[in-house]
Amino acid sequence: MRKTILLGAVFLSSLAFTQQRSPIVGGDVDVHGCRASAGFTYSQIKNVCVKVFEQKIKLKEVDSDKSSTSMTAVIFSKDMKRAEIFIPEGNAKSIILGKEGKSKMWKSGSYIKETYVLVPYKKTGYQIKKDDVVIYQ
């Protein structure tokens, strides 16, 4: 009888320890409270969670050798002196570009090793260049 109770207790305790919790769907909140699974990314310029694919200015990847192309968005500060770009590669979720004086381009700071530049393209569009190569337009 004791042997049966002991075996039963061992069996039940092994079940309790091996039970794994499944992840909660939508439980991927970042430090800013943005849910990536719902399509949200934190915007440093707007200071809120945004959906990159719903922004007014969207640019498509140029000359991709991958089977699919990605897109990015641009968000400007109210005074148009800063631009935020959402590059899907790398560790940063977005990169802030600054505009100097009356220049018509926004450029990344020296805090990142690559140089990103946002320039007007044609009459209504923009291009993003990485180290002088157009990567989005």
Q: Check residue 128 and give left, alpha or beta (phi > 0: left; psi -120 to 50: alpha).
A: beta
For the chain, the residue count is 137
Q: pLDDT by residue (tens digit) across 75-118?
A: 999 999 999 999 877 666 899 999 988 889 999 987 777 899 99
User: Phi and psi dihedrals of 128, rounded to 5?
Assistant: -110, 130
Q: pLDDT by residue (tens digit) across 1-18?
A: 677 776 666 666 665 555
29 compared with 81, residue with greater pLDDT: 81
CA distance linking residue 137 with residue 58, whole number of Å: 8
pTM greater than 0.85: no
CA distance linking residue 51 with residue 38, whole number of Å: 8
CA distance linking residue 49 with residue 33, whole number of Å: 8
- Count H helices, E strands: the chain? 1, 10
pLDDT of residue 59: 94
* The pLDDT of residue 23 is above 60: no
Residue with the two structure tokens 């061992």: 10
pLDDT of residue 123: 86
